[in-house]
Structure 1
Amino acid sequence: MKLKTKIFVGLLAMISLGSCNKGFLELNTDPTKTKDAYPQQLMSNALIQSTSINMNRNRGFNNELMQVSVSIGDGEYKVFRYDFRRSWSDYLWSGHFLNMANYKDMYKKALTEVAFNTSYQGISMILQAWTNSILTDTYGDVPYSQATLGRDSLLFEPKFDRQQDIYMDMLHKLDSANTLLKVNTSIDPLHDPVYKGVTANWRKFGNSLYLRLLLRVAHKAETKDYAQAKIKEILETNKSNYPIISNNEESAILRWTGEGAYISPFMTTRVQDFRATALAKFFIDFLRDSNDPRLNIPEYGTNGINRWGIAPVSGNFEGVPSGYAAGNEDYSKMSYFYSADQNAGVNSMQKEPMTGMIMNFAEVEFIKAEAMLKGYISGDPSVPFYSGAESSIKLWIPTWPGVIKDHLAASDIDWDNNDTFEGKMERIHKQKYFALFLVDLQQWFEYRRTGHPVLPKGDGLKNNGEMPARMQYPVYVQSSNPTSYKDAVAQQGPDAINTKMWWQKP
């Protein structure tokens, strides 16, 4: 073939291909579907991820610090000895900031003309406040006002906001969410893994979260007037405008079904590793000695096994003293949580649907009890105290037939009007400790706020026996955001585990 002929044929082929490609995208795009995500599509996946992050840090970090469990071993970097690697910080920080972007996008999508929905706007604000509260209560000052702006604004080195400012904005967001959810615009139940589309319950959760955060800062000079007045408004003077969680059925729980995306993150742990972690003596002794039905009355559980799936040792429940000195004892055969493969019908936290705990009714009742004890609202604190203790049990065993006053009195852990203020706080927070079982890092946060419940100190504790006040910032933050990191350290104090954050200080 001559050169001119080859060139002509080549040009003809290119023209033909161009004609074939013309309209290709239009022909292969479904006009009935959008390429943009709707708010509900962002909500379900982000909630699953956020809850999974909280569960993993609850099991491996919170539970070790707060004497729920003990990872047996004599090596370095054992959290139960107040000794942990800086790398512990990375997972929660990275995961929650990633999902924060999804919650913010959810809000933006719910503002658009095609997907306008006030309920999704309100739920987004609640989820932003929930996630940001865990971040700031873990690290202190964190990126907030400029966080997650890298994609849209090319702001890759956000400033770290002061915790006080973060708290005030979170509180205002929750107030705005309450207003938005009054409209009660319907949402897709299939994409709501917590409340199945019941927006009234989202509103109740938002206001209950509001109470949690208000109580945390009600003692601070800068916020006490606002916080105490708002607690009174929500619980007493304007209750109808601020509905809160009022029974176990309204608790915020992401229940794992074991199907599709709803598989508990605990199931990704090897069964032998899951049961290798022992239960702490403080945790198991209280349940055993108070004859707690979640542990000691198998007929109220499933198939004759105690409700929390705790394995006995030689017919008894025994725990490991938290903070024990390395090399002192062999605690390898103490009580533990059953793994998913052990004996057909055995309850196991590894496959338990309710481990996706976000906030439950019992916690709300204990918030009321403390608010009454401190005089923020009127009332007898023993009333919500008993209600919280009973609800905490019935969340797991709805048919429990016991009388809560008699049950607690039998172990001398009932309410005592003649006790000191600190004694009453201890009674409230001992029960609240068990109500907060599985709830992200709330046991740790509450202990740092109140010093309750009183935890025994083992001989092997590091850090001079002082409960860590925070996680350090991830190492990569120092290199990826050096200026803001240095400003944060100058603002808050040394990037160390004993540097107290704003609300921890008197």
Structure 2
Amino acid sequence: MKNIKKYIAAIGLLTTVVSCDNLQDLNENPSFPVDVSAQALMPPIEQQMAVGLQFDNRYLGRYVQYFSNATTGNDWDRYGYTANNDAGGEIWKMAYFSIGLNLTRMQEKAVAEERHDITGISKVIRAWSWQVATDYHSELIDFDQAFTQRMSFDYVGQEQVYAEVLRLINEGVVDLARTDGKVSSTYTAVGDKMYNGDRAKWTKFAWGVVARNLNNQINKASYNPTAVIEACDKSLASNADNALISYNGSVSADSNFNGPGRNNIATFRQTDFMVRVMNGDVFTGAIDPRMSRILAPSIGTSETAPASAANPDPTKYTFIGNPLNTTASSTTGPSRIPNLWGTFLAGSITTPGRYIFRDKASFPIMTYAEIQFIKAEAAFKKGDKVMALAAYKKGIEASIDFVNANTISSTTYPITTAISASEKSTFLANINVVPAEANLTMSHIILQKYISLFGFGNLEAWTDMRKYRYDNVNIYKTMAFPTSLFVDNNGKLPYRVRPRFNSEYVWNFAALQAIGADKVDYHTIEMWFSKP
């Protein structure tokens, strides 16, 4: 009893002591502040821009036939989805959680501190996130309800989202042009790891979002190719303007998601269609010099064990692709298909990797090549083939230069060198790749854009594919679809990805029913942007 009384007395003494101080101080940790500057919020927000795309690219890669699973029966290889699971839900998480309220706080802090450049960047990133999320999912949460204390949320249609993106971009560009207040590229650069505080580059990126937004609507009577071209001309002007998220690549936690150190894509194999658009099958005999730098070669018929070949001969390499929903063409022997790192093993931090599938490779959010292909498409739709051909050629040139910037030379299997000036000029001089103006087709433009986006721009490639309704006769020549589509597709191809399971189907199901997302084939409903 005496000990209990001592214990109670001690509690009383402690309570007395605590009451003398500010109780709020107990919840403060100086090492992990809860109130941080706008500058400090930028790095994790920019990193999450890449993470959202990288996670879901694993699934979109199958939809656009960049890569397939090494074995049969995968739901995504069959153009389906994984039911009752968050697979494919990272972009949703990015928009509403990983970036979400953090971006709101960054903008609020920037406004309060008169950091108008950061305010502008905040609005541009928000616009980009809405554009990405709607092009992936379609309807989004009502903007007036997002990031509030509500327990359920209603959805708005894609047309409203597209308008909101343009509104935010217009405001963001105005803010980026301001020079009053406490605008400082030096201050902003401390947190801005993508553009180092360069407002001009952020403005170009903003116009790139506009170009995507407007050009996605090519099937509508309101489509204005001149406005698209103007947006492209205000956007990225060279590869120096590419929006890139960088990685140190020294440990797994700070490595590119697609690199071998993270071992996230060990079971993926390049597809047969991706090989055909580069090996001369689609472009009539024109072998793309990028193929041997971005695709993984099989060892070839005169070689045996690639992992132990002392002097592999690159002229003996063959490039083989795996169709969707098919076991890799050969799992043993010289014609077996390597993974995207160019190996036949699980990845590790010591595996070199190749192209953008390296631990230290930067991840592109937007590239100059993409902008030029958008311009070429708009000019073609406008009827200006002179402009279209010029932009188309610039897009290919920029893509080749981008590949070279991400090529690590290797003297062992797979032997790799940078694309030489003569290889580049020979390829561009091939009339089957760069034809006369009169012979330029939309298929030329879309397929070269498709090649340039390989491995990172999966969402933009899928957006094009949906705009052209998976046309494998006039656009995506020789592309084939699995004969056994996912059972819930009812024989249809996908046009959207369901909202994230654990945040929406678990907690917000009534709102999903209102937009038809409770139906098993909801993912096959065509998007607003691609409709007339």
User: Normalization by structure 2: what TM-score?
Assistant: 0.77
- Following superposition of structure 1 onto structure 2, how do residues 395-474 of structure 1 map, counting pairs within 5 Å? 395-397=402-404, 400-402=420-422, 404=424, 406-410=426-430, 412-419=432-439, 424-437=441-454, 438-450=456-468, 451=471, 452-454=475-477, 456-458=479-481, 460-462=483-485, 463=489, 466-474=492-500
Identity %: 20
2:256 to 259, 264, 267: 264
Residue by residue, what CA displacement relative to the aligned partner does 1:429-454 show, whole Å, maximum 9, x if unpaired?
11100222212511111111134434
C-alpha deviations, 1:467-502, integer Å up to 9, x for none?
311112344423412332222229x99862211111
Q: 1:257·1:263 contact (CA, 8 Å) conserved in 2?
A: yes
Cα distance change of structure 1 residues 147 and 258 upon mapping to structure 2, 3 Å threshold: farther
Aligned to 1:82: 79
Pair 433,312 (structure 1): closer, same or farther in 2 beyond 3 Å: same
Alpha-carbon shift at residue 347 of structure 1 (Å): 3.0
* Match in the other structure for 2:287: 291
Give the match's secondary structure for 2:101.
Answer: helix
The residue that corresponds to 1:178 in the other structure is: 173
Letter in 1 for 2:273: F
Is contact 1:48–1:262 with CA below 8 Å preserved after alignment?
no
CA pair 336-91 structure 1, distance change in 2 beyond 3 A: same
Q: Are 1:228 and 1:376, in contact at CA under 8 Å, matched by a contact in 2?
A: no
Q: Which residue of 2 aligns with 1:351?
A: 358
Matched, 1:255 2:246: yes
Report Cα offsets for 1:209-267 as digits up to 9, x if no partner.
Answer: 1111111124324x53xx546335435xxx6xxx3210001110112122586422235
In 2, Cα distance between equivalents of 1:35 and 1:453: 50
The one-character-per-residue Cα deviations of 1:252-309 (angstroms, maximum 9, x if unpaired) are 01121225864222358664x634321111112333334333333xxxxxxxxx4x37
Answer yes or no: is the 8 Å Cα contact 2:243–2:367 preserved in 1: yes
Contact 2:256/2:262 (<8 A) preserved: no
The alignment covers a number of residue pairs equal to 470
RMSD: 3.6
Q: Which residue number corresponds to residue 104 of structure 1?
A: 104
Please name the residue that 2:296 is paired with: 310
Q: Deviation digits for residues 73-120 of structure 1, max 9, x if unmatched?
A: 12352x2222332333433322331122222222122111xx221111
Q: Name the CA shift for 1:414/1:267 in 2 (closer, same or farther; >3 Å).
A: closer
Q: CA deviation at 1:121?
A: 1.2
Q: Per the alignment, do residues 377 and 244 of structure 1 end up closer, same or farther by CA in structure 2, a change over 3 Å counting?
A: farther
- Whether contact under 8 Å (1:174, 1:206) holds in the other structure is yes
Equivalent-residue separation in structure 2 for 1:443 and 1:355 (angstroms):
19
The structure richer in helix per residue is 1
The 5-angstrom pairing of residues 90-239 of structure 1 reads 90-98=89-97, 99-112=99-112, 115-150=113-148, 154-183=149-178, 185-186=183-184, 187-221=187-221, 223-224=222-223, 227-228=224-225, 230-231=227-228, 233-234=230-231
CA separation in 2, counterparts of 1:32 and 1:281?
Answer: 52
Q: Is contact 2:208-2:236 (8 Å) kept?
A: yes
Secondary structure (helix, strand or coil) at the match of 1:246 reads coil
Residue 72 of structure 1 deviates from its aligned partner by: 1.6
- Contact 2:262/2:348 (8 A) holds in 1: no
Query: Aligned match of 2:522 in 468, 488, 496?
Result: 496
Choose from 486, 511, 523 the match for 1:484: 511
Distance 1:441 1:355, change over 3 A: farther
Matches within 5 A, 1:15-54: 18=16, 22-23=20-21, 35-54=34-53
Task: Confirm or deny: 8 A CA contact 2:69 2:324 kept in the other structure.
Answer: no
Q: Are the counterparts in 1 of residues 298 and 319 from structure 2 also a CA contact under 8 Å?
A: yes
Taking the aligned partners of 1:346 and 1:475, their CA distance within structure 2 comes to: 33
* Distance change (3 Å), C-alpha of 1:39 and 1:348: same
Give the structure 1 partner of residue 339 of structure 2. 336
**Equivalent residue number for residue 385 of structure 1:** 392
Letter in 2 for 1:385: Y
The match for 1:72 is 70
Is the contact made by 1:211 and 1:367 (CA closer than 8 Å) also made in structure 2? Answer: yes
Deviating more after overlay: 425-434 vs 255-264? 255-264
CA contact (8 A) 2:271 2:324 kept: no
Three-state SS of the structure 2 residue aligned to 1:102 is: helix
- Per the alignment, do residues 494 and 264 of structure 1 end up closer, same or farther by CA in structure 2, a change over 3 Å counting? same
